C-alpha cells in the first residue's frame, strides 16, 4: 500500500509555511480571483510565484485552485490567469467547471488538472469521463461511501483524493445558495458566509418581530448545521480503498489549526505502514479536540449517517488552546518569538514541538528586542524567552484557555507547568 499524500490548506503565505513545517506533502492555495474561498487571504501574482517556489524548495507539491464557476464576464481575466499558471507550473490546477478545464487544457496543456470536489464526482462513469478528458486527479465527492470509492478505484488509474478533516456543507458540497440569498455572498464564487450554521427561528408573517419557538433541544434548533469531518480513526481503510491523497479543509482557518491538524495527520499517515488498522493515539484525539468544531462525524464514508451523528447541536466545541506566538529562531537556549497574543511572566505555555506536546512551561523571564527584561509582551512584539530542548524554529507557542466542563471531545490532561532551569 502506497503511503497517501497529506494535502493541507494554505490560505496565505504564513499558513503555507506552517503546513509545510508540520509535515504536509502538498498544499493547495488560490490566486486572488478565481479560487473558491474568496475571503481566505489568497495570493496575488507575485505571492503566487513565491508560494509555488517556496513549496518546491521545501519538497512540497503546490496545487493552485481555479475552482469557481465563472460567468462570461470573467473569461478574459481567467485566460490571463491561466497564462500565469502556465509559466509558474504548479504541480496541479484544481478546477470544477468544464469550461475552465477546457481553457487550461488548450492554453496550458503541460499543466496537470485536478477535478474539484465541487464537480461532484460520485460514480465510475464520471470518473472515466474525466480520465478520457485528460484529468490527472479526481477529488471525489464528499457524498461517497468507502465501497463506492473502491469501485471508482477499480475503474480508473487517476489519482484519487478525498477530504478527511474539516468543515462540511449541509448541502451537496458547496452547491448551495443559502449564503447568496441571505448575505449576497455566493458559495459558488468562493464567498460563503457559512449561513447554514446560523441560528434560525420561525416568524409568522403577520406578527413581525415575534419569534415562535422551534425546539430541537433545550438550546433551540440547528437543522442545517453539520458536524465537522474527522477520519483520523479510519485512514487505513481509506488507504486500502486506494485513496492517494488525504486532504484537510480550512483555508480560512488560522495557523494554530493548520499546525495542529497537519502535525496530527502527519503522524497518523506515518503510522499506517501498510496496515489495515492502527491504534489511534490519545494524543491525536486530544490535539484535534483543541480546535473549535461542531463536534466530529465520519460524514458519508460509512453510508448515510443517522441525523444525530451528522447534525451538530449548533453549540459545538470552542478552541481550548490559543496561539501565543511563533518561534522565529533559537540561540543559546532562548527562543526569539513573534507574539500573536499578550504574554506575562508567570504564564504557562506549551510548544507544538515533537516530544513536548503534553508539557507546559512557566515563562520565568522575557526580554525585548533591545535585550531589556520586561514583565509582559504584547501582540506583534518580538521577544526572547527561555525555551526547552526540542523546540524548533517555526514551531508554535500556545496556551490552554479555560473552557467549559465537558467542552472537549476528550478530557485533556492538565500538566503542571515545568520551570525551565535558569541559565547559569
Residues lying near ligand SF4 in the complex (CB under 6 A)? 169-171, 174, 176, 178-179, 187, 192, 194-196
Which among 392, 393, 387 is positioned nearest to 421, based on CA atoms? Answer: 387
Closer Cβ to ligand SF4, 21 or 227, answer by number: 227
User: Do 327 and 394 touch, CB atoms closer than 8 A?
Assistant: yes
Q: How far is CA 404 from CA 200, 286, 317, 347, 409, in A?
A: 24, 16, 9, 20, 12
Q: Taking the complex as a whole, how short is the minimal distance between the CB of residue 142 and ligand SF4, in angstroms?
A: 10
Coil, strand or helix: which one is 26? strand
User: Do 17 and 394 touch, CB atoms closer than 8 A?
Assistant: yes
Closer Cβ to ligand SF4, 40 or 88, answer by number: 40
Partners of 269 in the β-ladder: none
What is the end-to-end Cα distance of the chain in Å, rounded? 52
Cell (9 digits) for 256: 494554530
Closer Cβ to ligand SF4, 191 or 322, answer by number: 191
Angle at 245 between CA 240 and CA 251, to 5 degrees: 140
Instruction: Tell the burial category of 152 from Cβ atoms under 10 Å away from its Cβ (0-12, 13-18, 19+).
Output: buried
Q: Taking the complex as a whole, how short is the minimal distance between the CB of residue 167 and ligand SF4, in angstroms?
A: 7
Closer Cβ to ligand SF4, 187 or 243, answer by number: 187
Rounded Cα gap, residues 234 and 71, in angstroms: 39
Q: Taking the complex as a whole, how short is the minimal distance between the CB of residue 305 and ligand SF4, in angstroms?
A: 16
Q: Taking the complex as a whole, how short is the minimal distance between the CB of residue 186 and ligand SF4, in angstroms?
A: 9
Rounded Cα gap, residues 63 and 43, in angstroms: 13
What sign does the dihedral 292-140-1-298 (CA atoms) show?
positive
Closer Cβ to ligand SF4, 187 or 352, answer by number: 187
Closer Cβ to ligand SF4, 124 or 170, answer by number: 170
User: Do 366 and 409 touch, CB atoms closer than 8 A?
Assistant: no
Give the E-state strand segments of 56-107 in sequence order.
Answer: 61-66, 92-95
Closer Cβ to ligand SF4, 156 or 225, answer by number: 225
Q: How many other CB atoms sit within 10 Å of the CB of residue 406? A: 8
Closer Cβ to ligand SF4, 167 or 298, answer by number: 167
Q: Taking the complex as a whole, how short is the minimal distance between the CB of residue 100 and ligand SF4, in angstroms?
A: 19
Q: Taking the complex as a whole, how short is the minimal distance between the CB of residue 307 and ligand SF4, in angstroms?
A: 16
Q: Taking the complex as a whole, how short is the minimal distance between the CB of residue 232 and ligand SF4, in angstroms?
A: 22
Rounded Cα gap, residues 250 and 19, in angstroms: 11
Closer Cβ to ligand SF4, 94 or 187, answer by number: 187
Question: What letter does residue 195 receive in the DSSP assignment?
Answer: G
Cell (9 digits) for 198: 446560523
- 24 Cβ contact list (under 8 Å, min separation 6): 6, 7, 8, 60, 262, 266
Q: How many other CB atoms sit within 10 Å of the CB of residue 372? A: 8
Q: Taking the complex as a whole, how short is the minimal distance between the CB of residue 202 and ligand SF4, in angstroms?
A: 19
- 16 Cβ contact list (under 8 Å, min separation 6): 10, 27, 29, 51, 54, 55
Rounded Cα gap, residues 75 and 311, in angstroms: 38
Closer Cβ to ligand SF4, 89 or 170, answer by number: 170
Closer Cβ to ligand SF4, 194 or 338, answer by number: 194
Q: Taking the complex as a whole, how short is the minimal distance between the CB of residue 224 and ligand SF4, in angstroms?
A: 7
Q: Taking the complex as a whole, how short is the minimal distance between the CB of residue 163 and ligand SF4, in angstroms?
A: 13
Look at the block and give the residue holding cell 467542552: 407
Cell (9 digits) for 72: 462570461
Q: Taking the complex as a whole, how short is the minimal distance between the CB of residue 361 and ligand SF4, in angstroms?
A: 38
Amino acid at each position: 500500500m502506497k503511503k497517501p499524500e497529506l494535502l493541507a490548506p494554505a490560505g496565505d503565505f504564513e499558513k503555507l509555511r506552517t503546513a509545510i513545517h508540520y509535515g504536509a506533502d502538498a498544499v493547495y492555495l488560490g490566486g486572488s480571483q478565481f479560487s473558491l474561498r474568496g475571503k481566505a487571504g489568497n495570493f496575488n501574482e507575485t505571492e503566487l510565484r513565491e508560494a509555488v517556489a517556496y513549496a518546491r524548495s521545501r519538497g512540497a507539491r503546490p496545487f493552485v485552485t481555479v475552482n469557481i464557476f465563472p460567468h462570461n464576464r470573467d473569461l478574459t481575466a481567467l485566460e490571463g490567469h491561466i497564462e500565469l499558471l502556465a509559466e509558474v507550473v504548479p504541480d496541479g490546477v484544481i478546477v470544477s467547471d468544464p469550461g475552465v478545464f477546457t481553457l487550461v487544457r488548450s492554453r496550458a496543456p503541460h499543466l496537470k488538472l485536478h477535478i474539484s470536489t465541487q464537480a461532484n464526482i460520485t460514480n465510475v462513469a464520471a470518473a472515466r469521463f474525466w480520465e478520457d478528458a485528460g484529468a490527472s486527479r479526481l477529488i471525489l465527492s464528499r457524498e461517497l461511501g468507502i465501497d463506492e470509492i473502491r469501485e471508482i478505484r477499480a475503474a480508473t488509474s487517476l489519482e484519487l483524493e478525498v477530504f478527511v478533516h474539516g468543515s462540511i456543507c449541509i448541502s451537496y458540497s458547496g452547491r448551495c445558495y443559502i449564503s447568496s440569498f441571505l448575505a449576497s455572498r455566493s458559495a459558488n464564487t468562493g464567498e460563503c458566509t457559512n449561513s447554514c450554521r446560523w441560528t434560525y427561528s420561525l416568524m409568522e408573517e403577520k406578527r413581525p418581530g415575534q419569534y415562535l419557538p422551534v425546539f430541537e433541544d433545550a438550546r433551540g434548533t440547528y437543522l442545517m448545521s453539520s458536524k465537522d469531518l474527522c477520519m483520523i480513526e479510519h485512514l487505513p481503510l481509506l488507504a486500502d480503498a486506494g485513496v492517494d491523497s488525504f486532504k484537510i479543509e480550512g483555508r480560512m482557518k488560522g495557523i494554530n489549526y493548520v499546525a495542529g491538524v497537519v502535525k496530527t495527520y502527519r503522524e497518523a499517515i506515518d503510522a499506517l505502514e501498510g496496515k489495515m488498522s492502527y491504534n489511534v493515539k490519545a494524543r491525536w484525539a486530544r490535539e484535534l479536540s483543541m480546535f473549535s468544531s461542531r463536534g466530529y462525524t465520519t460524514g458519508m464514508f460509512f453510508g448515510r449517517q443517522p441525523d444525530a451523528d451528522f447534525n451538530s447541536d449548533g453549540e459545538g466545541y470552542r478552541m481550548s488552546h490559543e496561539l501565543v506566538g511563533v518561534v522565529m529562531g533559537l540561540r543559546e537556549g532562548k527562543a526569539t518569538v513573534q507574539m500573536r497574543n499578550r504574554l506575562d511572566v508567570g504564564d504557562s505555555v506549551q510548544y507544538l514541538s515533537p516530544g513536548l506536546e503534553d508539557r507546559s512551561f512557566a515563562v520565568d523571564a522575557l526580554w525585548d528586542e533591545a535585550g531589556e527584561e520586561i514583565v509582559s509582551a504584547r501582540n506583534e512584539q518580538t521577544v526572547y524567552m527561555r525555551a526547552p530542548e526540542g523546540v524548533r524554529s517555526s514551531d508554535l507557542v500556545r496556551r490552554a484557555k479555560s473552557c467549559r466542563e465537558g467542552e472537549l471531545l476528550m478530557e485533556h490532561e492538565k500538566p503542571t507547568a515545568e520551570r525551565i532551569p535558569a541559565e547559569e
